[in-house]
Amino acid sequence: MADGFAKPIRVVIADDAYVIREGLVATLSREPDIELVGCCSDGNELSEVIADQHPDVVITDLRMPPGGDGEGIRIASRLRESDPNVGVMVLTQYIDSAYAVALMQGGSSGRGYLLKDRIRDRAQLVSDIREVAAHGSVLDPRVIEALIEARTSEDSKLAALTPREHEILAEIAEGKSNAAIAESLVLTKRAVEKHVNSIFAKLDLPEPDSVSRRVKAALLFLADEHRLSPPRT
């Protein structure tokens, strides 16, 4: 049984590709501690099944109708508010570290971002589901490599941050707004805004889109954390 689960882990699958859906069903239906409670082909159907079945884990494609690109990330974001105990594992064929960062914004607990060829390894896939169900997090090794590559090219820029700026960058990586950072670090919102602008300048992130800059800054921080942390065994 999965850690913390006396009952089977209730799982819903969502992917607009028939072959992927059936492959997941065939793989997971053989696991005694996993109960498939829904199989969907788009985001609207998935939302209905989640409301009806109250799963422990949702396995969703990154790109599917009706929203197309990023649909899985948007569903995960909504679940943080409506059903925070539901874990979400996003499956994709794209190595896009920015999407991984977006998925983890607001906290990495109960979140996974994996490449679709991972489902060929049944034991690893089941292990990842159990980890997400137990409110852990899973990130595909190749996505971590992309994060580290981005981090490696930015070493000197991160080194230029002051201790306070690095502290605020860590808060940004957790998905916090400027107001939430101000409350957490006992600063004024104006002071936080000045520090954030300084961080963006030092990291050479001049785009006017503040959301994009926050994601890129968080990506650099998370890559640094993965680089410095020992591998899990």
* Cβ atoms of 134 and 5 closer than 8 Å: yes
Distance CA 150, CA 125 (A): 27
CA atoms within 13 A on the CB side of 142: 10
Distance CA 177, CA 12 (A): 31
Q: How does DSSP assign 168-211, residue by residue?
A: HHHHHHTT--HHHHHHHHT--HHHHHHHHHHHHHHTT---S-HH
Q: What is the mean pLDDT of residues 10-39?
A: 94
Distance CA 190, CA 178 (A): 9
* Cβ atoms of 85 and 54 closer than 8 Å: no
Whether pTM exceeds 0.75 = no
Question: In the predicted model, is pLDDT for residue 98 greater than 50?
Answer: yes
Give the pLDDT score at 202. Answer: 87
- Condensed to tens digits (0 to 9), the pLDDT of residues 130-183 reads 999 999 888 888 887 776 665 555 555 777 889 999 899 988 877 788 999 999
Give the pLDDT score at 230. Answer: 39
* Cβ atoms of 192 and 122 closer than 8 Å: no
- Condensed to tens digits (0 to 9), the pLDDT of residues 45-61 reads 999 999 999 999 999 99
